[in-house]
Structures are given as structure tokens and as C-alpha cells.
Amino acid sequence: MNSRERLEAALNHAQPDRVPVDLGATFVTGIHVSALARLRRAVLGDRPGHRIKVCEPYQMLGELDDELREALGIDVIGSLARKSIFGTDESAWKPFTFWDGTELLVPHNFNLTVEAGTGDWLMYPEGDSSVPPSGRLPSGGYFFDAIIRQEPIDEANMNPADNAEEFKPFGQAEIEFYQSKKKWFQERARCGVSLVIPGTAFGDIALVPAPFLKQPKGVRDVAEWYMTTAARPDYVREVFERQCEVGLRNLATLIEIFGDVVQVAVVTGTDFGTQRGPFIKPSAYRDLFKPFHARVNALIHQRTKWKSFIHSCGSVYDFLPDFIEAGFDVLNPVQCSAAKMDARTLKQEFGRQLTFWGGGVDTQHTLPFGTPEEVYRQVRERIDIFNAGGGFVFNTIHNIQGPTPLDNLLAMFRAIQDSGK
């Protein structure tokens, strides 16, 4: 099988020749630039002058080039949105050096300042340093945190439009961007293909503070938003209605552009689980989120062969029947360390209905802090469980973090390769 055929088999619950592997195709299946640079040198040797492209500045994720992807046996490529969570775009690049010395290429409007006293890096929406910063990377840290810039809430004059201002129909710039991405996919026709659908992640807390907006209005504080879903559900529902209307329109445009080139649509990254259990009651999910997920997935399934991908961290076992009923085909990141998320149980109970994309190794404990032998054993075990009969795409449980030991990364790939022998 080539990579596209391998992914297709897994998505249709047929046994592929080996487990398909994703690294870097989405914003939740990637690798930090620092770890990527070390991995690339180990696999391809030192290439003086090579710089890693930062494809997702908020989490400082790196882009895998074609040579490394082929060397590692990575099967899936993908596309993020035209603009990042900070509003940067990739129309041009410039050199940048991370604090640990990693040589990078960053978007042309990736502009930051160093805060006096702390040494923290401050990032600005669309690179505009004339407005307050929207992101902070702590000194010696590896990724940014959003800076809350919520204006005081006037309870009597709350307007759902304020929380929906970022959702707009595609303009010519977006259409041209996606047309170029289609061509890029077609030039790599043997690869599996995923596409992040912009504007369909209802209530994604990473997006609520709107680091891409210069003057965000509405409910933009993380804690306030979570309370609003319970205390002001009609407000949230109206925000979602506005968002869904635009999201469906843009989704229809993407379907027209990409057709059968795409295999997987990444619909949402909203988290519904914590380490110990559900983040909200399943009944609250059914009332507030599920109807909108169902509308998006209905359009996908009516007009394409794409599979619908939901990312939700934590213990989401209690939500899985509703996720399936809402039309999701793929679950990520499959956080097996969370409560009720045992790998064998998930495969036995939901393996016929869901493709598990992730779950391949624990990025909280085993990959960053275990021995290479422990990493190898866990990867082999997870592949044995999840890949039986298809329905599995190997990826770590969320993004690989910057200080992850190189020996552990190499052990992970060795285990993947050995599992296919």
C-alpha cells in the first residue's frame, strides 16, 4: 500500500499492510520545533543552514519537510487555516532563533518583544505591536499562553455578535490559499490527506481569548466563558448559531475546492474531558454542542467521502456514544492515561465505529520521562491493541513537546517500524 491507501484502509476499518502514521498533519498531532530539529539531525544528518518552519506559532509546532517525512515513514499530510491563532500568515518567511538556539523560519508578521524584568516573549495579533500583546511565552518556556484582554462585561447589553466577529465568509485570499493547498496535495498524491476546517470548533477554549483579534469584544476570559456556557446558555447558543451559519458556508466552499483529494476533515478541537472525568455533563453536550456538530457532520457526509475528526482531550468515554451519533468518525488524541480511557476497552467497545487517531504513546509521562525501553514497549502494545482490524492511525497523545529526549523519539519510531515487520 502507499500512504493514501494505507490511511484509507484504516479509516474504513480494514487491516492495512502496516499502521498508518501521522506526525504534523494537524495542530494537535504535531511536534515542537526544538524536538523536530533534534530528530531531523539524527535521521538525516547535520544540514548547515537548514531552518525548521514554524507552522503553528502558538504551540511552536514545526513543519516536516518531504525528505524527513519519507525517511520516518509518515503517511499523512495536512493543511491548517490560512491564518494562525495569532493572525500570522505564511505569505512570506523570515529567520528567527529560538531561545535554545534552534534555527527557525517564522511567518513574516511573527513579531514579538521581550518583557522587561521577566524576559518573557510577548506576541501581538497580526504582528501589530501598537496594540496590547495577545500571547506570552514565559522565559525558558516552549509555547505561548493567551493573554486575557476581556473588557468589563455589561450584563444588560451583552451581544452574541461580539463573540462571533471572527467568523466570516471566505474572501479571495482564503480561496486562493486553499486552491494552492489542493495543488500541493496533488503533487504528493501518494500521501494521506487531512484538512482542518476553520470555524467549526464550537467553544474551543484556545480560540475564545481570540489572540488573533486586536480588540476582542464579548466573553473572552477563559473562566468567564466556561461559566457562561452554564449561566448564559442562550447567549452561547446564539454565538454558535452565527458561527455555524458561516462555518457551513465555508465548508461547502472547501468541499467544492478539494473534492476527493481530502480524506479527513478536522472539525473541532474543543475539549470535553479532564484527567479524571467529563468537563461538562453529557446532557450539557447534547443540549449545547451536539446539534451543531451534527449539522457540520451531516454536510460532510452528504457531500463527500471525508471522515469527520474530533479532538477532545481527557476522559471522554462518557461522550463517545454521542460523538458517534453526532457523526464523528475519528477520535483524537485518545488520552489513555485519563479515567475510563483504557486502550483495550476503547477498542473493544467502540473500535467498529471510531477510528482512533492517537493513543500511540503517553506524552505526559512515558515519552518525555520514561526510558527508551519503556517507550518502545508502550508503542508496540498500543499498536497491537488499536491496529487490530484497522481503525487506527498512529500518533502520540497530543503534540510532542520541546524537551522530549531524542533517544525516546528514536525508540518510538523503531517500535513503529518493528510493528510492521
Query: pLDDT (tens digit, 9 = 90+) per residue, 166-225?
Result: 999 999 999 999 999 999 999 999 999 999 999 999 999 999 999 999 999 999 999 999
pLDDT at 421: 83
Each residue of 74-119: pLDDT tens digit?
Answer: 999 999 999 999 999 999 999 999 999 999 999 999 999 999 999 9
Band of residue 299 on the pLDDT scale cut at 50, 70, 90: very high
Each residue of 366-407: pLDDT tens digit?
Answer: 999 999 999 999 999 999 999 999 999 999 999 999 999 999
Q: Does residue 119 come out as left (phi exceeding 0), alpha (psi in the -120 to 50 range) or beta?
A: left
Q: Phi and psi (nearest 5°) for 143?
A: -150, 170
pLDDT, average across residues 294-298: 98
Question: Which domains, from first to last, does the chain contain?
Answer: 3-32+73-83+153-419 (3.20.20.210)
| Spatial contact of 29 and 23, defined as CB atoms under 8 Å apart | yes
Model confidence, pTM? 0.97
* Sign of CA pseudo-dihedral 403, 407, 410, 415: negative
pLDDT, average across residues 163-167: 97
pLDDT at 420: 87
Percent of the chain whose pLDDT exceeds 70: 100
Q: Which of 197, 309, 173 is nearest to 250 (CA)?
A: 197
Instruction: Name the residue with cell 465505529.
Output: 353
Q: Is 5 helix (H, G, I), strand (E, B) or coil?
A: helix
